[in-house]
Structure 1
C-alpha cells in the first residue's frame, strides 16, 4: 500500500476511535442507605450525558460483566426530544455499581415489563381502537342524553408492571381500580374488548394472567383523588348514575410507555365541586416501573383558596380491618389495611398508601353511603399548583402467598417504602 495512503488510513481510524471513545462514559451508582436495593429506579437527565456520536443514536448500558441493562429514553414534556435515561438496577447496602454507557444506531429491543392499555370506540356499533390520548367533556358520560354507551376499553386507561395492574375510570368517576396478576408477563391488549371489537366486561372472570379483583363502589379506589373544603368532602367527578359531569373537560395522554417505565398524564379542567361556586384544575401523573406491587402518582391542584386539603383515597368496603397508621423512618407515613376488599370478599387484598410525612395531616373515614363513600382518605396539606408525590400499593394473596398474612404484607410495605425512598448518588464521568 502507498505510504501516504497508509498514513491517511491510520489517521482516519485513529480519529474514528477517538470519537467513539470520547462519547463513552461511566455511570457510578452509590447506594447511600443501609438497605439492599432491588430494581431501584434510576433516572439521569440527558444533559448529564455526552452528545451521541450520531443523530438518532441510542444509549446502551453495560455492567462490568458485559451484561446489558434494560433502559429507555423518555420524552416527558412532549417536545419530541428525550430528556431522561431511565432504568432499574440492584444495589447492595451501602454499595456501588459502575456501568458503561455506549451508543448504538439501532434502538435495542427489550422484554416489556410495563404497559399501558387505552382504547376507545366512537359509537356503540364501531370497534374499539387503541389511542394514546383523548379528551372527554361534561356531556359525554355513558348515561348522557344522546350518548348512552361506554366508549372506553376497561372504562379508561389501565397500566401494569410484572407484579400488579391498575385502571382509572375515565368515564367521569375518576376512581382507581386494581387488577390482580398471577403472571409476570403483560396482560393481553384485548382485555376489556370482545372478539368483535366491542367494549366488554370480560375481566371480572379469572384468566391465566389474573383478573379485576377489587370492589370500588363509590370510593375513590386505591390512590384516587378527592378534596376537602373546610370540613366537607367533595368527589372529583361523578358517579356511574350521573348524566352530566362536574368537570368541564378531562384529558388523558400517555407520556411514555416502555419496557421499564410507563407514565401517564390526566388533567381535569374547570372542576366545580357539587354545591360550590369554586373552580379548580387538577393534574396527576400515574407512573409505574417493575418489581413493585404499586404505582407512583404526583398530583397538583390549581385554584386553591387556602381552606382545602387534598384527599388521597383507599377503599374500605370490607370494614373488618381498621386502617393502620405507620411511621417509616420519620419521613413517610403508611396507611394500611389487610382484609377482603375484593368482589364477594373472595380473597385477601392488602392495600396501602405511602405518603410524605411533611404534608400528611392525618386521615379520615368517608361515610358508608353517598357520592363519596366507603373509603379512608389521607388528608394532605397542599399549596396552589405544588406537587404531592405518593405511592399506592395493592397486594393480592394469589399474586404473592405472603400477602395472606397481615404481618407479612405490612413488612413488605415498610420494606418497599425504604426501597423507594433510599437515596442513590449518581455520578456520570
Structure 2
C-alpha cells in the first residue's frame, strides 16, 4: 500500500510540474555558476531497446521508460547532468547507475551543448572539455550499489525510476527516486539527492532507503590500481578516501575523493572495481560528499600535495560545522 501511494504521489508531482515541458532550462544557466539538466528525444520512436530519430529537448522531470537501457540513444549523455563552474558530472540513468566526470576547460556552463553534435561526442576533447573518467564495471565516483555475497549489485531490477532537476541561484539539484530496487530477493525504495554549489567541486549526496539493508555502498572506481588514501579526523567525526594520479581517458592527473561520516560507515575496503565505503544498515538519511579535481580545469589543482591540502581543508570544515555548504 505504501509503495503504491509513493508512486501515485510522485506522478502527481510530475504532472503538476509538467514532465513533458518543452521549456529549456539552459536559459536559466546564463548567469549562474551551477546548472542541472535532463534532456530526452522527441519526435522519434522506440525500436526495441533503441530510440530512433527525433531531437533532444530539455525537460524538468522524467519517468524512465521501461524500454530504456544503456546506449538506448534516448537520454542525452545517458542521464541527468549537473555542473559548477569547476567541474561537471552525469549519472547513467540505467542499470549501471554510475556517476561520471566531465572535465571542464572553462568556467562557463557547458552541459547544454554536451552531446548535441553526436550521441557520445563528449568522449572527444573539445573547447569546453570532455568526459574524462572511465567507469567500466565500477560505481564511478559517489554513486550507489549494494554488496551481496562479495559482488556489487547495480540497478538491474527496478520497478520504476523517476528523475527531476532543479536550478536555483545558489545550487542545482538532481533528485532520483528508485521504486522497487531489488537485490538479494529484497526490495527497497531509494531516494537520491545530488546537489552542487557555486565555486565548488564537490557534490553533496543524500540517500535514503525505505528498508534498512546491509551492504549499501559508495566509492571511487579503481581501474588504474592507484593507492587509496584514507584519513580520519582526530575527533573521528568525518573521514575521506581518495586517489590521485593519471586516471583519466587522456592520461591526465585527476584527484577523486569521498567524504563520509565515520559513524555511518560499517567498513572501508577494496572491491573488484572500486575503493568502497559500506554504510551501516539504516532507513535514515545518509549524507556524504564526493568530488573530482582535474589538473586542466581553470585555475585547477596541479599537484598531489595541493590536492590533499585541499581535501584536508574540507575535512576540517566538515568537522567544525558538519557540512561543507
The verdict on how the C-alpha distance between 1:186 and 1:133 changes in structure 2, with shifts beyond 3 A counting, is: same
What residue number does 1:378 align with? Answer: 277
Alignment of 1:114-263 (within 5 A): 114-122=34-42, 123=45, 124-142=52-70, 149-194=72-117, 200-229=119-148, 231-237=149-155, 245-254=156-165, 256-263=166-173
What residue number does 2:246 align with? Answer: 340
The verdict on how the C-alpha distance between 1:352 and 1:302 changes in structure 2, with shifts beyond 3 A counting, is: same
Question: What is the TM-score when the length of structure 1 is the normalising length?
Answer: 0.63
Question: What is the TM-score when the length of structure 2 is the normalising length?
Answer: 0.82
How far is 1:251 from its partner?
Answer: 0.8
The verdict on how the C-alpha distance between 1:126 and 1:400 changes in structure 2, with shifts beyond 3 A counting, is: closer
Alignment length (residue pairs): 291
What residue number does 1:326 align with? Answer: 231
How far is 1:110 from its partner?
Answer: 8.3
Q: Distance in 2 between matches of 1:193 and 1:234?
A: 33
How far is 1:423 from its partner?
Answer: 3.2
What residue number does 2:289 align with? Answer: 391
Alignment of 1:8-47 (within 5 A): none
What residue number does 1:296 align with? Answer: 204
User: CA deviation digits over 1:21-64, x for unaligned, max 9?
Assistant: xxxxxxxxxxxxxxxxxxxxxxxxxxxxxxxxxxxxxxxxxxxx
How far is 1:387 from its partner?
Answer: 0.6
How far is 1:132 from its partner?
Answer: 0.8
Q: Distance in 1 between matches of 2:202 and 2:150?
A: 29
How far is 1:139 from its partner?
Answer: 3.7
What residue number does 1:285 align with? Answer: 193
Runs of at least 5 residues in structure 2 that lack an aligned partner in the other structure: 1-12, 17-28, 46-51
How far is 1:138 from its partner?
Answer: 4.3
What residue number does 2:305 align with? Answer: 407
How far is 1:171 from its partner?
Answer: 2.8
How far is 1:422 from its partner?
Answer: 3.9
Q: Distance in 2 between matches of 1:417 and 1:290?
A: 19
Q: CA RMSD in A?
A: 2.6
Tell me the SS of whatever aligns to 2:309.
helix
